[in-house]
Amino acid sequence: MGHTVTSFDEDLNAIDRLIHDMGDLAGEMVVSSTRSLVDTDAALAQRVISDDTIMDARQRELDDRAITLIAKRQPVAQDLRSVVSAIRMAADLERIGDLAKNISKRVSAVGEGGAPRSLSHSIDAMAQLVVAQVHNVIQAYEVRDAERLKLLRAEDEKIDIQYTGIFRELLTYMMEDPRNITACTHLLFCAKNLERIGDHVTNIAENAYYVTTGMQLPLYRPKADETSVSG
Amino acid sequence: MNTETKQEATAMHMPAEKIVPQSDLYTRETTTVRTPDENPGPVRVSARDVSVFYGQKQALFDVSIDVPEKSVTAFIGPSGCGKSTFLRTLNRMNDTIEGCRMTGKITLDGADIYDPSLDPVELRARVGMVFQKPNPFPKSIYENVAYGPRIHGLSRSRSELDSIVESSLQKAGLWSEVKDRLNEGGTSLSGGQQQRLCIARAIAVSPEVILMDEPCSALDPIATARIEELIDELKQNYTIVIVTHSMQQAARVSQRTAFFHLGNLVEEGPTDLIFTSPVEKRTQDYITGRFG
């Protein structure tokens, strides 16, 4: 049911649209950044870096709109939850943009040699999984699907498992041949960034779940990143 | 009695905007959604299955609620939802409306307030009321406050009466503004001051419960803030029930909120919960401004 004051709905919709746009942009940036690193594509890397400026601008716009809406409308209940959570989700999406930018910045550092194809297969697969998570969480938020959000949060475990695998794999390559160390270290940071992006998706899922149900998910979250133990 | 005379009778006691033509929408509904407090306090006022009829029309359907002591309970809901009607049953103000009939049970500290042996005047001293429009008597500030204690025989001497007047005005946050002009007319005060005078008048007879029917709707924001501050202080010693059209006010001043709609108590629970995650969809639609 819409608000009696329709401009209230318009204000809320504008905020939701920004979340949607930021989600799309974040997904694109994650794909492109990993691509640019794996293919040593400097032009693509540059695009990701400039996309991050757009992302920052959108976050600021969302913050402004949300604060103005709170000041003007004094939202309560579901409205208040969605405005406050939008601010938080935008912050997570903005961080996802930063992490993608960080991956792209490594393209020049990996340098002329580039990352050997054989090293980047797993990263590619991990990136795809992460991107799917980013898209799914925004979609599930748009249709306010609490069950799917809960599942998405649990699925972060898959990303963590992949990260652990990549960590071990890259370690092996580095031990095999020290000339791999530079490229592998950058790929390792890339994998770490992807894993962090997964954590931000988890945060978004938790916030979206709260918007939808008014309840917080339990604090416990599956954790399968074992690098701290195995490393 | 025909409807017209009933409405006239009603109009004498209720502000005109409160009389809402009744439609077929008024029906008994399923049970109220209740969320108890985490640490429920002792109950002061308890209502069970309270129904109110104006002539043939039923305005309130089986309302049951417990009002905890030394806290503020807010009644919210759209016009004609029955919140004021219910508030008025708590000190038998509806007795004065011709054709108004009430069923169910209301207890104050466990005793039935509709017990025939109970004097309604005594009851109204224990359950005071503050109205929407400040309505001081056309007498001096002093007399406005002294009137209640005098007729209830609460003071034996002039000096005792003086001290009741002073402490009541102090509790109502008005003393410093009027102490030098106690003999001036109560109506010479500003709207906000008049309302605080009415609160002082209610406090003067040492009530246990104070009912407030939209006490700030005729006041400006500053005067409203002072009354809200006062309500916050009064809840240390009194049990307060407030009817308000301002949802923000209910959110600010109350500990528990009850939402009425079309004569039914739809949901009641801790205010923090009602304004962040209400259980009932109608509560949510109302407080977020999605009604109708």
The pLDDT tens digits for B191-241 are: 999 999 999 999 999 999 999 999 998 888 888 998 999 999 999 999 999
Instruction: Please state, rounded to an integer, the average pLDDT across all residues of chain B.
Output: 89
- Chain A hits for B289, CB-CB cut-off 8 Å, are 3-5, 8
Instruction: Report pLDDT for B200.
Output: 94
Give mean pLDDT, residues A100-115.
81
For residue B180 the two structure tokens come to 């030098």
Query: Which residue did the predictor score with more confidence, A1 or B242?
Result: B242
Scan residues 77-96 of A and list those with Cβ closer than 8 Å to B.
Answer: 77-81
In this prediction, residue A209 has a pLDDT band, given cuts at 50, 70 and 90, of very high
Confidence of residue B4 (pLDDT cuts 50, 70, 90): very low
CB interface of B with A, residues 131-190, below 8 Å:
none
Q: Which residues pair with B68 in a beta bridge?
A: B43
ipTM score assigned to the predicted complex: 0.70
Q: What is the pLDDT of residue B7?
A: 44
CA neighbours closer than 13 Å in the CB half-sphere of residue B51: 13
Across the range B85-106, mean pLDDT stands at 92
Contact A76 B287 (CB under 8 A): yes
Q: Say whether B289 and A5 touch across the interface (CB within 8 A).
A: yes
Q: What is the DSSP letter of B278?
A: -
Which residues in chain B have their CB less than 8 angstroms from residue A2's CB?
A: 290
CB pair distance less than 8 Å for B284 and A77: yes
Write b or e for each residue in A120-130: b if 16 or more Cβ atoms lie within 10 A of its Cβ, otherwise e: bebbeebbeeb
Collect all residues of chain A within an 8 Å Cβ-Cβ radius of residue B252. Answer: none
- The answer on pLDDT for A231 being more than 50 is no
Give the nearest partner residue to B288 out of A76, A214, A215, using CB atoms: A76
Query: What's the pLDDT tens digit per position in A43-87?
Result: 999 999 999 999 999 999 999 999 999 999 999 999 999 999 999
- Check pLDDT > 90 for residue B24: no
Supply the pLDDT for residue B10.
43
* Neighbouring C-beta atoms of residue A6, cutoff 10 Å: 9
B287 touches chain A (CB under 8 A): yes
Is residue B244 helix, strand or coil? coil
* HSE value, Cβ hemisphere, 13 Å, CA-based, for A170: 26
Task: Indicate the pLDDT class of residue B22, thresholds 50, 70 and 90.
Answer: low
pLDDT value, residue A183: 85
Which residues from A are below 8 Å from B291, CB to CB? 4
Identity of the residue in B247, B276, B291 whose CB atom sits nearest the CB atom of A4: B291
Q: What's the mean pLDDT in B13-35?
A: 67
What percent of chain B shows pLDDT beyond 70? 91
Taking CA atoms, what residue in B is nearest to A81?
B276
* Contact A144/B at CB under 8 A: no
Mean pLDDT over B89-106 rounds to 92
- Has residue B8 got a pLDDT over 60? no
Contacts of B247 in chain A (CB under 8 A): 76
Q: What share of chain A is helix, strand, coil (3-state, %, to 5)?
A: 85, 0, 15
- Band (pLDDT 50/70/90 cuts) for residue A228 is low
Query: In this predicted structure, what is the pLDDT of residue B2?
Result: 47
What is the rounded radius of gyration, in angstroms, for the C-alpha atoms of chain A?
A: 19
Which residues of B are less than 8 Å from A5 in CB distance? 289
* pTM recorded for the entire structure: 0.79
| Mean pLDDT rounded to a whole number for chain A | 90
For B268, the 3-state DSSP assignment is: strand
| B250 inside 8 A of chain A by CB | no
Contact B164, B204 (CB under 8 A): yes
User: What is d(CA B284, CA B292) in angstroms, rounded to the nearest whole number?
Assistant: 12
Residues B116-170: tens digit of each pLDDT: 999 998 999 999 999 989 999 999 999 999 999 999 888 889 999 999 999 999 9
Residue B208 to residue B63: CA distance in whole angstroms: 22
pLDDT, mean of residues A88-114: 89
B3 — pLDDT class (breaks 50, 70, 90): very low
* pLDDT the model gives residue A182: 86
- pLDDT over threshold 60, residue B88: yes
- Bridging pattern class, strands B100-108 and B43-54: antiparallel
DSSP-assigned beta bridge partners for residue B185: B140
DSSP 8-state assignment for residue A121: H
Residue A129 pLDDT greater than 90, yes or no: yes
What would the mean pLDDT of B98-113 be, rounded to a whole number? 93
User: Given this model, what pLDDT does residue B272 score?
Assistant: 92
Q: What is the average pLDDT across A158-164? A: 94
Chain B CB contacts of A74 under 8 Å are: 248
Please judge whether A77 and B290 are an interchain contact, meaning their C-beta atoms are less than 8 angstroms apart.
Answer: no
A163 pLDDT higher than 60: yes
Confidence label for B96 from pLDDT (cuts 50, 70 and 90): confident
Q: Residue A222: what pLDDT?
A: 58
Identify the helix (H) or strand (E) that includes residue A174: helix A146-176
B12 pLDDT tier (thresholds 50, 70, 90): very low
Average pLDDT, integer, range A206-226: 82
